[in-house]
Structure 1
């Protein structure tokens, strides 16, 4: 799939469109087939280098998006394949390291 990525922290000169593998989902995950995406200030902070955030590089950018659910994990009950959804980057999962530590 095509994605906007960066291979090193810095400015917009580090950003490129690249082919990346389609992610494999886990039991609690949903795979979105994007129909629209945008970069916002959060993406620019991450690109610049956010000390508390340790990323595997290259990093796929784009925290704002909308699309269609393409796959759901075995434990997912709220969404179904074909649902149209929008991503809210401010919504907390309550389960990741950042949420559990209050960040």
Structure 2
């Protein structure tokens, strides 16, 4: 392979990797946007859920969560303490 062929080959390879990097970046941007959009919708939905003060205190005292985190988890699980504990014990079982 001559020096000119090597340079052309390297330039072609660079074009391909640039294209792949741009495609990956766009895909990543779309994925992150979808996750953030889903999370904000879930948060808005969760604000209308009533939660028991005893359940919040249980999560704070027994599982060492802070108050805001305990409240958010309960809201995300429609106030169901058992579901929150199950998620915390085994997150893969969502």
TM-score, normalised on structure 1? 0.28
Q: Which has the larger radius of gyration?
A: 2
TM-score w.r.t. length of structure 2: 0.30
Q: Which has the higher strand share?
A: 1
Q: Which has the higher contact order (CA 8 A, sep 6+)?
A: 1
